[in-house]
Structure 1
């Protein structure tokens, strides 16, 4: 039985990944507005994921922004023990080293796809938000390309990036978030993101099998 996502659901998957990526940045008052469409898109993509999206939206509506900022900082910034480091190299490099070879590979992949980080982006290139945005970009470019060679390029990049980077290390970050967070918003964000990446990987496995 094929689990390949229909083209319109491919679009929905990568739109949702772009939305959840924004949740891994420092929370702002605009975040609530940005997430208004999240439950609707997630329900279209997979109704079983809808509860997590609904709870995220409910939490951010009811949560004081200062409290959300405190939890964000405690999990992802510090200043003391970093409970859930949001950088791929922490999970991929020996001894959790920042800015290692894996970070350089991520930066190279961005450039190969014609992208560069904004000068306003002060975090390492393998920050979880940047990697999720890049995965969404690859999926959307693949989905919209009319050129078969270009489509194949984005498919291959997506497969490599999921296998070697965000799809590999995000479950480790999710474990840290779900172990240490006191905030339901980040608990649901972690769970939903994990499910979305599993869906992306399942779809990719079907594509790879059909192209063997």
Structure 2
């Protein structure tokens, strides 16, 4: 169980780290953290047997070897997510909210947002006052996965197998009902809109990580149910 606890803690870290580029400008310090965790992500891709995940990591990995140009990255973030200088490229701003991609109106804070808010509340995650975006922003949804993974690790430490299984069930449900229902659309949108290799390949790696994570949750839940 100690190995499972460590896995859940690291998995929570990965969700937190991968959520950052969709919400704020990157820094050299963040790139260093991403470099530190990328071997772990690559190991997960190989262990998953998901060839799309492994290919996405392999495509992204060399990009981190290039010199980090903060002005270049800041400009691309502003163009993609803030709509700055959008006329010089596609005329399109990426809006990383589930409601924008999946609701009939394609507006923020629609039906998907309402469901996400309820899920957060039911699982003890309150609104972060420093986070100004709606709860169905990709970063908020990934932060929920990090929160639930850390929560599972805490229950493992307490020896509460039923609560660990419940945390896994919630995460599997959230991936299927929310994140994995639209992250591929977001990844494609960023790919079409970006000129920078980092943003072209990073969202696809995130998409494939989540896709593989569903299978991981299913497997771990089954194993834990059997032994408990």
Normalised by the length of structure 1, the TM-score is 0.83
Residue 94 of structure 2 corresponds to residue 73 of structure 1: no
Match of 2:145 in 1: 135
Matches of 1:190 and 1:160, distance apart in 2:
21
Matches of 2:24 and 2:203, distance apart in 1:
15
Segments of 5+ residues of structure 2 without an aligned counterpart are 47-53
Q: 1:107 aligns with which of 112, 117, 122?
A: 117
3-state SS of paired residue (2:79): helix
Q: Which moved more, 1:145-154 or 1:48-57?
A: 48-57
Larger of the two Rg values belongs to structure: 2
Matches of 1:176 and 1:50, distance apart in 2:
19
Matches within 5 A, 1:150-189: 150-189=163-202
Match of 1:38 in 2: 37
Match of 1:3 in 2: none
Q: Which has the higher helix share?
A: 2
Matches of 1:148 and 1:135, distance apart in 2:
19
Q: CA deviation at 1:31?
A: 1.9
Q: 1:197 aligns with which of 203, 207, 210?
A: 210
Q: CA deviation at 1:101?
A: 2.0
Q: Deviations over 1:170-203 (max 9, x none)?
A: 0110111112211111122112101101111122
Cα RMSD of the aligned pairs, angstroms, is 2.6
Matches of 2:160 and 2:76, distance apart in 1:
45
